Amino acid sequence: MFTEEIRKHLTEDLIPFWDRLRDEENGGFYGFMDSDLTLDKTAKKGGILNSRILWFFSNAAMLLQDERCLADAKQAYEILRDAFVDKEYGGIYWAVSYDGKPVDIEKHAYNQAFAIYGLSSYYDASKDEEALQLAKSLFRIVETKMRDEGGYLEGFERDFSPADNEHLSEHGVMAYRTMNTLLHLLEAYTELYRVSKDPEVRARMCEMLDIVHDHVYNAKERRQECFFDLEYHSLVDLHSYGHDIEASWLVERTLEILDDEEYTAKILPILHAVRDCTLEKAFNGHYLYNECGQEGVDKTAVWWVQAETIVALVNAWQKNPGHPEYLEKAESVWEFVKEYLIDREAGGEWKSETDPDGTDHRRPMVSLWKCPYHNGRMCMEVLKRLNG
């Protein structure tokens, strides 16, 4: 198995790379590094990036019993608490300046989700009750300010008046609801429920699973739809292979934490269908394609898609040990990652995306979106599941 390589990659590549991005002068972590590895110390710091760093180091600290990782998690927590939280209206800003002043003050449900996710894990790692209370306060913000009777909305101004969903709309549409935000709210609530056992959080998790079943899943195509109007009419013909392979194991984690036989029976067949359809259409034996839209299949090898594919395949093998082909495929993706995505000049962090032949697209190494969450989580999931 490849667990020893994964452990070495996590401890000798990913953790040191992100630890070196600590901003000792202004707090938190630096927010941008280009593909040439030029670090911009005055770049704004994104809420999503910071929350994902918080999640990464919190979980690394727990898995490895590493005090330096816990200190890094505290570094991310303190700037989230002190700079990203809107002290007047509540909620998390989209971004702050390099020295912690609000610069992108809009609120987005997706951003709140990752703050809840990171804070819940940090509470588990540190037992800092303040972090749990902040996570719960953001949960209440989402539930009272960022949803309607039909489900969750997307973008808001600072005072939670409605705003266009520019951050999570793509492919020429302006979506009122997205599968992506729903998926990561469910992920965040799952982590919050795991550490708090709050019955209200559990109830909202069940509601989201109902939305997945009733509106997001397309049974005919065996996929999730991506962008919706308020009534959940799909706005674009798009199969997001990466999000579907991610959901196939991430929502199963929700079912495991929820531990409800009715919801497991209702949702698990959907997850299996989505996984199998995605592998049939998008796995070429070495890596998973990005997506398929109106212009055809995008065969770009995107970093986070490969990370989520490895976890999904290991999960599938773990639940079906009589099918070693799942583990073999996971190891094949890892071989592709080692050859084409891991950037040794960058100290082992992954390139954002490449062509099928490994040609680098020269995307940023660190940005508002490029983070240690997907590939770091892959490493930790593999080690936990394969007893590495």
Q: Which two tokens stand for residue 21?
A: 């991005």
354 and 301 in contact (C-beta within 8 Å)?
A: yes
- Cα separation, 145 vs 23, whole angstroms: 33
Q: Which two tokens stand for residue 286?
A: 């070495």
H or E segment at 354? strand 353-354
Q: What is the mean pLDDT of residues 54-72?
A: 98
Q: How far is CA 88 from CA 46, 108, 243, in A?
A: 20, 16, 35
Closest to 43 measured CA to CA, from 26, 65, 62: 26
- Cα separation, 215 vs 220, whole angstroms: 13
Query: 3: Cβ–Cβ under 8 A, 6 or more apart, which residues?
Result: 382, 383, 386, 387, 388
In degrees to the nearest 10, what's the CA dihedral of 74, 79, 81, 85?
-150
What are the tens digits of pLDDT across the range 133-148?
A: 999 999 999 999 999 9
- 388: pLDDT confidence band, cut at 50, 70 and 90? low
For residue 36, the SS3 value is coil
What are the tens digits of pLDDT across the range 249-292?
A: 999 999 999 999 999 999 999 999 999 999 999 999 999 999 99
- Cα separation, 145 vs 91, whole angstroms: 10
pTM of the complete model? 0.97
Strand partners, 224: 217
What are the tens digits of pLDDT across the range 1-16?
A: 689 999 999 999 999 9
Strand partners, 310: none
Q: What is the mean pLDDT of residues 113-122?
A: 98
For residue 294, the SS3 value is coil
pLDDT cut 90: percent of the chain above it: 96
Q: What is the residue-averaged pLDDT of the chain?
A: 97
48 and 114 in contact (C-beta within 8 Å)?
A: yes
- 323: pLDDT confidence band, cut at 50, 70 and 90? very high
- Cα separation, 270 vs 3, whole angstroms: 29
* pLDDT of the residue at 172: 86
Q: What is the mean pLDDT of residues 356-369?
A: 95
- Cα separation, 73 vs 58, whole angstroms: 5
**100: alpha, beta or left? (left if phi > 0; alpha if psi -120 to 50):** left
* Residue with the two structure tokens 């099928």: 356
pLDDT at 205 over 80: yes
Q: What is the mean pLDDT of residues 83-96?
A: 98
